[in-house]
Amino acid sequence: MPFAISQCTELNLLSRRSDVELELTFITNELSYMAMQSQSIVEKQAREGQIYMSQHVDEEGQVDISAIEYVNSEAFNSKYQAQLSAIQTKEQKLELRKTQLETEQKTISTQQDGWEKNTDKNIQSGFKYGG
Residues 85/1, Cβ–Cβ less than 8 Å:
no
45 is a domain residue: yes
6 is a domain residue: yes
CA–CA separation, 114 and 131 (whole Å): 25
CA–CA separation, 66 and 71 (whole Å): 9
124 is a domain residue: no
pLDDT above 80: residue 77:
yes
If one counts every other C-beta atom within 10 angstroms of the C-beta of residue 108, the result is 20
Averaged pLDDT for residues 34-60: 96
**The pLDDT value given to residue 74:** 96
CA–CA separation, 80 and 39 (whole Å): 11
Averaged pLDDT for residues 44-48: 97
Averaged pLDDT for residues 104-127: 81
Q: How confident is the model at residue 5 (pLDDT cuts 50, 70, 90)?
A: confident
CA–CA separation, 71 and 14 (whole Å): 55
Whole domain around residue 105: which residue ranges?
Answer: 2-110
pLDDT above 60: residue 131:
no
Residues 67/14, Cβ–Cβ less than 8 Å:
no
Domain count within the chain: 1
Averaged pLDDT for residues 37-59: 96
Q: pTM of the full predicted structure? A: 0.76
Q: How confident is the model at residue 13 (pLDDT cuts 50, 70, 90)?
A: confident
